Amino acid sequence: MVRPSLTELDHQRGHRLGRLLREARGARSMPEVAAAAGLSPETLRKIETGRIPTPAFFTIAALGAALGISLDLLAQACAEDRAA
């Protein structure tokens, strides 16, 4: 199965998600948050910088739990382009 190419909106959504996660992480270290979410620090870095613009649902759910961010807030942040 071939994955369709990402659109500019996909990339923008990934950058918004990354920004939200960075802000929520605050002063906590990347390795600390990654470990709490069950991810590698490298994966978290890629998500925060938008290099992985469409992470898996369970990855986002784990990060939300580790950072105390509801899935509703994460979904809202990622859906902002639909309202525009």
Residue 62 CB: number of other CB atoms within 10 A? Answer: 17
What are 14-71's pLDDT values in tens digits?
899 999 999 999 999 999 999 999 999 999 999 999 888 889 999 999 999 999 999 9
- Assign domain 8-83 to its CATH architecture: Orthogonal Bundle (1.10)
Tell me how far apart the alpha carbons of residues 79 and 56 are, in angstroms, rounded to a whole number.
16
Whether the Cβ atoms of residue 52 and residue 43 lie closer than 8 Å to each other:
yes
Domain residue spans of the chain: 8-83
Tell me how far apart the alpha carbons of residues 70 and 68 are, in angstroms, rounded to a whole number.
7
Q: At residue 17, what is the residue type? A: L
State mean pLDDT over 5-15. Answer: 87
What pLDDT, on a 0 to 100 scale, did the predictor assign at position 69?
A: 94
